[in-house]
């Protein structure tokens, strides 16, 4: 088991009857752990865990309870993911735009594997805050190493060869097959790029500006990158989450 520092917050409630943990939501915030805890306290919010840059793990809410971390969110038929998820916050002063510390990632992988194994969370339900709330959130950011984590058993990645197995070319349909809410197609497309094609996402050195300007409203996925989207949709379509 991962060693954790317990510092419980009172901002949680019971999971609704019948709501099982089916997802792991990964976040980041531009604060050190102790500062983040105070910010959460002031805003009456919470996450189940925080992982500091040195790899220290803090637990704020029991996994059996519904922490208040995801807000308005949708993913693969789930609405309001607080009900169905465990949330982990990472400390990142750049809001995930600069490389994460190796010690922090080691702790994240270890803790995530424990959670995934315990709740039998499918790879397709290991998600970014930006995946489930694409109009509102940019975290855990373009520097988050999704491919490496997938290789370590945390999350899902694609095989570009699978693009040829997917006949569909409609971006909205492909994004929806992965799990995105496509009611704002530009936001969903940009969130997809944050996760899978971070080179297409602009760096914003002003973190406060980034928080309020999550995506360009006129963003369209460039046609040369459509095969990556198709390969992801094929992969996510084949991995059916447990109900």
- For residue range 178-227, list pLDDT tens digits in order: 999 999 999 999 999 999 999 999 999 999 999 999 999 999 999 999 99
* Residue 56: how many other CB atoms lie within 10 Å: 17
Q: Report pLDDT for 18.
A: 81
Q: Report pLDDT for 17.
A: 87
Per-residue pLDDT for 242 more than 50?
A: no
Catalytic residue among 89, 98, 164, 168: 89
β-pair partners for 89: 27, 50
Q: Report pLDDT for 240.
A: 55
Question: What is the average pLDDT score of the chain?
Answer: 95
72 is an active site residue: no
Q: Report pLDDT for 127.
A: 98
181-199 in b/e form (b: 16+ CB < 10 A) is: bbeebbbbbbbbbbbbbbe
Q: Contacts from 173-179 at CB under 8 Å and sequence distance 24+?
A: 174/229, 174/230, 174/232, 174/233, 175/229, 175/233, 177/233, 177/236, 177/237, 178/124, 178/232, 178/233, 178/236, 179/75, 179/76, 179/124, 179/127, 179/131, 179/236
- Taking the C-alpha atoms of residue 183 and residue 102, their distance in angstroms, rounded to an integer, is 36
Structural domains of the chain, with CATH? 5-238 (3.40.80.10)
- Can you tell me the mean pLDDT for 4-32? 95
Q: For the segment 135-165, what is each residue's pLDDT rounded down to a tens digit?
A: 999 999 999 999 999 999 999 999 999 999 9
* Residue 214: how many other CB atoms lie within 10 Å: 19
């Amino acid at each position: 088991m991962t060693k954790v520092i317990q510092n419980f917050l009172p901002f949680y409630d019971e999971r609704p009857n019948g709501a099982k943990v089916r997802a792991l939501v990964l976040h980041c915030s531009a604060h050190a752990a102790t500062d983040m805890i105070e910010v959460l306290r002031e805003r009456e919010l919470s996450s189940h865990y925080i992982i500091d840059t040195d790899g220290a793990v803090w637990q704020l809410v029991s996994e059996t309870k519904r922490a208040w971390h995801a807000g308005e969110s949708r993913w693969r038929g789930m609405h309001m993911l607080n009900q169905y998820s465990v949330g982990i916050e990472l400390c990142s002063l750049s809001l995930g735009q600069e490389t994460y510390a190796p010690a922090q990632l080691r702790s994240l992988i270890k803790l995530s594997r424990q959670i995934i194994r315990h709740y039998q969370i499918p790879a397709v339900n290991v998600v970014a805050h930006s995946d489930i709330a694409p109009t509102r959130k940019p975290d855990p950011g373009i520097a988050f190493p999704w491919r490496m984590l997938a290789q370590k058993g945390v999350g899902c990645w694609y095989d570009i060869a699978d693009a040829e197995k997917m006949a569909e070319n409609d971006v909205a349909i492909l994004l929806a097959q992965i799990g995105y809410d496509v009611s704002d197609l530009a936001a969903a497309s940009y969130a997809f790029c944050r996760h899978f094609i971070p080179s297409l996402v602009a760096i914003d050195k002003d973190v406060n500006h980034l928080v309020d300007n999550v995506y360009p409203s006129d963003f369209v996925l460039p046609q040369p990158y459509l095969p990556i989207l198709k390969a992801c949709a094929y992969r996510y379509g084949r991995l059916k989450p447990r109900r």
